[in-house]
Amino acid sequence: MQTANPAVGGQRVQHHGSGGELFVIYLINMLLKAITLGIYHFWAKVRVRRYLWSQTSFDGERFEYDGTGGELFMGFLKVVGLYLLLFIVFSVAGMVSSGLQALLFGALYMAFPVLIGAGLYSAQRYRLSRTRLRGVRFGLDGSAWRYGWSMLGYGIITLLTLGLYKPFMDMHLARQMYAATRYGGEHFDFQGQGGDLFKSFLLAWLLTLPTLGLIWFWYLGVSMRYTAEKLSFPGLSFRLDVSGGAFFMLWLTNILLLMFTLGLAFPWVLLRNMHFITRRLAVEGQVNYAAIQQTAAEANTTGEGLVDALDLGAI
């Protein structure tokens, strides 16, 4: 499906994917996963990603994804090994002292948000490292564990403030993630501040009950427009023209599609979500491709395996 972004002349993001083509990929993946008792899951995920990446273009050039199912499978095995190690440690601790075992369980429970944050960061690092445009890879620097500990710390403050710290937490984490993202050797920049969103967040927080929660679609539009405006890349700025009403209609029609097709419309829902963003994403400026240098940084797959193990990876 050809899409166009009228807000930007000549330079824009487009998605050309077809629901029918993606549905065929899903059917074949389901068959192969059934035959292999689920082991094909990792290769199935790669087939979907390669299709989605190859159908997305910027400046007329298609993105490429060169990750492999073997890499994802190895990442999963590493996490399984970690689970086995924890099981042995907890079993031994239980034989030594029930109090020691309870203490270890408490420590693991407290560390769970750190594991989720580190897993999400590592998975994003892996996906970016396997994504190319014009032959140049994207990347993500920084520490996954630092991101995980930040998620825990900001999460505790958010709980203690009855959720009111949430926009500050979101902007802190977004700045940590986006500022470490690069294309070749050039980094993105993000200048978002939680204070700029606080009034909108507080209004949504106060009107949650009277609006039965629907006010959060409005806040999602506000937050995404603001995030896009504060994101930049050398020579480029971004704008996302989305509204709460458009988000609500997308969500509602997606739910109806999935309900009336018993889930078979999932490939079309996935593409509708991608088209929704790419049609509204305006990119202004020019990239100096001649100045973009490829770096030699690589990423391992443990985070991807952790995200899979925690069932956090949608694509």
How confident is the model over 65-118, as pLDDT tens digits? Answer: 999 999 999 988 988 888 898 888 888 888 888 888 888 888 888 888 898 999
Q: Strand order in 189-190's β-sheet? A: 189-190, 231-233, 236-240, 281-285
Decide: 241 and 13 in contact? Cβ < 8 Å.
Answer: no
Q: How far, in Å, CA of 225 to CA of 219, rounded?
A: 10
Q: Which phi and psi (to 5°) does residue 292 adopt?
A: -80, 120
pLDDT of residue 312: 63
Collapse the DSSP code of 136 into the 3-class scheme (helix H, G, I; strand E, B; otherwise coil) and give the result: strand
pLDDT of residue 159: 95
Residue for token pair 């192969």: 32
Q: Which stretches in the chain have pLDDT values below 70?
A: 1-11, 294-301, 309-315
Q: How far, in Å, CA of 305 to CA of 312, rounded?
A: 10
Nearest to 305 by CA among 93, 80, 38: 80
Token pair, residue 243, equals 């509204």
Q: How far, in Å, CA of 58 to CA of 247, rounded?
A: 24
- Summarised one tens digit per residue, pLDDT across range 150-180 is 999 999 999 999 999 999 999 999 999 999 9
Q: How far, in Å, CA of 81 to CA of 306, rounded?
A: 11
pTM of the shown model: 0.85
Task: Tell me the DSSP string of 119-132.
Answer: HHHHHHHHHHHTEE
pLDDT of residue 288: 86
Nearest to 188 by CA among 139, 155, 146, 253: 139
